[in-house]
């Protein structure tokens, strides 16, 4: 089963930033996709999510 594609996103790489970027880029490039990302406030304050939080702040502003 070589070259088998993964079905699930890998959130463990670089704090999930590459996966988050990939999904947001896809959503923004497809006019038929309208969506919202919801996060619990406490989740955004966790140390393990800071790479993703910083990425979102850089991408969309504070």
User: Domain limits of the chain?
Assistant: 14-61
Which tens digits make up the pLDDT trace of 18-48?
999 999 999 999 999 888 888 888 988 999 9
Length of the chain: 62
What are the phi and psi torsion angles at 9 (to 5°)?
-65, 150
Q: What is the pLDDT of residue 20?
A: 92
- Whole-number percent of the chain with pLDDT over 90: 50
Q: What is the pLDDT of residue 39?
A: 86
Which tens digits make up the pLDDT trace of 1-13?
555 566 778 888 9
Residue 52: its H or E element: helix 50-60
Q: Cα–Cα distance between 29 and 25 in angstroms, integer?
A: 6
Residue pair 13/19 in contact by the 8 Å Cβ criterion: yes
Task: For residue 49, name the pLDDT band (cuts at 50, 70, 90).
Answer: very high
Computed on alpha carbons and rounded to an integer, the radius of gyration of the chain in Å comes to 14
């Amino acid at each position: 089963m070589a070259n088998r594609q993964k079905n699930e996103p890998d959130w463990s790489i670089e704090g999930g930033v590459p996966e988050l970027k990939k999904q947001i880029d896809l959503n923004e490039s497809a006019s038929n996709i309208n969506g919202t990302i919801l996060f619990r406030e406490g989740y955004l304050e966790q140390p393990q999510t800071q790479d993703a939080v910083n990425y979102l702040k850089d991408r969309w502003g504070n």
